[in-house]
A and B are shown apart, each in its own frame.
Chain A
């Protein structure tokens, strides 16, 4: 249901080096008994960049983040913050701010005391702590809540305080593990924009774990898609969406059709009566494959003609500016197609039409 339409293009992308350091993960491996949580994870993050770690449940996102934070150790592999190998540095000396998925404020302390906690540990004077706590609570949009205890704050407010607390120590890097997943949709949307605004303002290197692709695509400079403890692809949101390098990424990000096709000479594939160049892995000539096409990558014309493949509209869902059609081709394949609503007037359920793909390189996968 997500499209790149929600991506907020920043006029000034993260100003590199503004206040952050780079991060390099090299071949991180971690097993828990028989389960392999990380299976050789490699990832480079530039200073001041926000990278979203995206992937299905259990793919090792949290494990990766906890290794970066120092709460977990990798069995093998290397972890560099800037140029320093921090593998042996304990969590309390890594200077990394972290916001947790569950509410993690200290229940016995007020909001201000929570924010000032890291400074108290660093023996900063009381007056300075109070001033900084006030400043940070204001920064996260909670002025005047200094004296509130966590149980007197809403979930969204608690996560804001947690963010302020993590930023108070002026960390080298910020780690967020699904900080918004416990919040309702509206607060989530609002808070993610604020996190991004703050991150850009401070230029702090940030790793943001999520399994919500919309969140990842709309916030991140780059999105790292993980699968089974390994990195599948790490790219800018629009590139990830438009040019996924593997079928897994293609299907995980956005919606994908799988339509039958046959491989032809010269690295092309025949699908819906057209020949398209294959991008990525291509099986031998003559093989039957499944071709991956986005719903907006299909053209739908009213009526049938020789060009393309004839199909029947099953369901038409009005989504505002676009309409999504569920179609069945005459050869029996199912396809989803998105087209501008003003073009979809005649395409009511039962209507006959013709499907053709846009002329773009496509990913294929050998039919199971």
Chain B
């Protein structure tokens, strides 16, 4: 403030003064960052301590070694990752064209799509899974029809398609929110018309103009959905499948240390995956996208997490 009220002459005498308010600002952000970091890191550090501290014997990495040697962990983690990727792929395939068409052609349906996509958020997973169980229980009645094979495939223990379907429904809110933010950040109608007038076909416009402009939104939706699938427990457990989260709980019943060590490992792996996805978003104009995210879609996205 002092710098602002100073006369021009005093300002030239101490040229650094006008910069002061700017420089003092980061302290506030650093404080907030520190608090947030504490909030996240203390539990992680405590868990870490729990896994490596063997009372009486001191430091040991036995739990990690065991986790890595255990076949169950690799299998369940692999299943989770595959389920996550399949869910993201199916969800995007469903939502990107839908949202683009709604934005360009049927803006009146936007509210309807929004409400539909938000339903999974307010419906408890246990209710969803009750419905799914009921449908799956029809299997015996269908034994003589061609549908039976489909039902078998749906709950194949190695890759339960039914989970992909349920998870896709559960990821709709995340995809909707992200894509909606991305679509509002650009004037898609004008961009599409510009592309068309320059001679591009509709599919060409989708690939060259629409998707690149939505890339940050697509990635953010994918990241959120993936994180959701990797942590999902209720549905998988009730339907009797064993992805990573379910395996972890099962193991935790008799080997607490191994279970927490697995959680630590999964944290690392999940972070790695998310980092990879986020980097995929980049391409050569990552800086620009990052700017735009911060300015426009950032706020909206944060509230959905």
Contact = CB atoms under 8 A, between A and B. Distances in A.
B115 interface: no
A106 B191 contact: yes
A104 B190 contact: yes
A102 B187 CA distance: 9
A118 interface: yes
Contact of A96 (B197, B200, B212): B197
B156 interface: no
B270 interface: no
A118 B199 contact: yes
Given A107-B288, A108-B212, A149-B288, A122 B199 contact: yes
Interface in A231-285: none
Interface residues of A, number: 31
B291 interface: yes
Nearest to B288: A149
Contacts, number: 77
A121 B197 contact: no
Interface in A218-234: none
B194 A100 contact: yes
A121 B199 contact: yes
B305 interface: no
A165 B198 CA distance: 8
B196 interface: yes
B204 A121 contact: yes
A97 B190 contact: no
B288 A69 contact: no
A151 interface: yes
B256 interface: no
Nearest to B291: A151
A91 interface: yes
B201 A92 contact: yes
Scoring B196, B204, B209 by chain A CB atoms within 10 A of each residue's CB, the highest score goes to B196
Nearest to A117: B198
Contact of B197 (A69, A106, A108): A69
Contacts of A70: 196-197
A331 B201 CA distance: 67
Interface string B276-297: 0000000001001001100000
